Amino acid sequence: MSKETSKNKVAKLDAEGLSLKSVSLWQIMWRRLFKRKSALVGMGILALLVFVAITADWIAPYSPTEVLIGVEDVTARQAPCIHLLGCPKDQPQHIMGIDGNVRDQFSRILHGARQSLFIGFATVTFAIVIGTVLGALGGYLGGWVDNVIMRVMDVVLAFPSLLLAIAIVTVLGPGLINALLAIGIVSIPAYARVVRASVLSVREMDYVSASKAMGGNTFHILFKRILPNALTPLIVQGTLGIATAILDAAALSFLGLGAQPPMAEWGSMLGAERNQVFTAPHLVFYPGLAIMLTVLAFNLLGDGLRDALDPRLGHVAG
């Protein structure tokens, strides 16, 4: 009941254009985000992933690279053994089974969360930083600078992203860092375009001219007056971009171009055992499921953020 009244109050104040100071955009965003079941599911999965990534060393029953030959009575690619589901108590418990190199797959999956989150955040941060600089320069300076930058972005966008990433990694040589760099490069245009559009939309506005008239230098105007406008579309694009980056990085690792063994990375775990899908399906199933859940979490959160930050929806809706 009290929730309902506060909602009405916000709506009323908004309608009258009063007292917006008391409810910031971020508060509205959080409020709307928490009302969406799908965004909540996304945040839930994400919280779990972050928890697992931080505590993997403590909660994983084994080390991700520990070979269990001679340590326990297990064989390569042994099916999962879960005591609760009727696996004999005298056998060691491995809830996701044993991989081709006789390691505990559950521990490897837990440690893989670290790589995936790192991959997602690292590539998107790289792409956002470069994309923002390029987009801001192009949008603010205009003219030939803008033309050159945007034509280069067009060329990058002309390639199917995964293929360009493959071509770049082939040249740079396989490896996780090179794969990240390749995916980062192919995702720059999306951010450059978002930032450029925001810059263009406010460049000629009175408050920018005022700031210029007051003697603000270009740097100050660009970063303090203009770029904050690009923040919300960047957050949405970035969250969805993390999902794509994780998916593409997993594909590169699957093809043997990304993370190299013995690193516990989901894509390369899946790639290493893909020919065993008929004899040891658990080695393909779990890494893929982990990738899917992670990507799903970022997609759900990104969609939720887009709706929550969309000014057209009005402050009450959602």
Q: Looking at the DSSP assignment, which residues form a beta bridge with residue 81?
A: 94
Between 238 and 267, CB nearer to another protein: 267
* CB contact set of 288 (below 8 Å; sequence gap of 6+): 266, 270
Amino acid at 190: A
Between 68 and 270, CB nearer to another protein: 270
Between 62 and 273, CB nearer to another protein: 273
Question: Does the N-terminal peptide bond of residue 311 adopt cis geometry, omega within 30 degrees of 0?
Answer: no
Between 129 and 292, CB nearer to another protein: 292
**Shortest approach of another protein to residue 59 CB, angstroms?**
24
Does 38 sit near another protein (CB under 8 A)? Answer: yes
Please list the alpha-helical segments (H only) found in the chain. Answer: 2-16, 25-35, 37-59, 105-141, 143-158, 161-172, 176-202, 206-213, 218-220, 231-254, 266-272, 282-309
Does 25 sit near another protein (CB under 8 A)? Answer: no
Distance CA 106, CA 103 (A): 9
Quote the tokens at residue 105: 């797959």
Does 171 sit near another protein (CB under 8 A)? Answer: yes
Does 284 sit near another protein (CB under 8 A)? Answer: yes
Does 57 sit near another protein (CB under 8 A)? Answer: no
Of 311, 270, 260, whose CA–CA distance to 291 is shortest?
270
Does 152 sit near another protein (CB under 8 A)? Answer: yes
| Cα separations in angstroms, 61 against 57, 64, 65, 279, 280 | 9, 9, 12, 25, 21
Q: What size, in residues, is the chain?
A: 318
Query: Using CB under 8 A, which of the segments 99-107, 111-119, 158-166, 190-198 binds another protein?
Result: 158-166
Contact pattern from residue 235 through residue 264 relative to another protein, giving x for each residue in contact according to CB under 8 A and a dash for the rest: --------x---x--xx--xxxx-------
Does 173 sit near another protein (CB under 8 A)? Answer: yes
Longest dimension (CA), the chain: 80
**Shortest approach of another protein to residue 194 CB, angstroms?**
16
Among 9, 83, 224, 274, binds another protein (CB under 8 A): 274
Neighbours of 312 (CB within 10 A): 5
Between 135 and 267, CB nearer to another protein: 267
Binding site for another protein (CB under 8 A): 38, 151-152, 154-156, 158-164, 166-168, 170-171, 173, 243, 247, 250-251, 254-257, 267, 270-271, 274, 277-278, 281, 284-285, 287-289, 291-293, 295-296, 299-300, 303
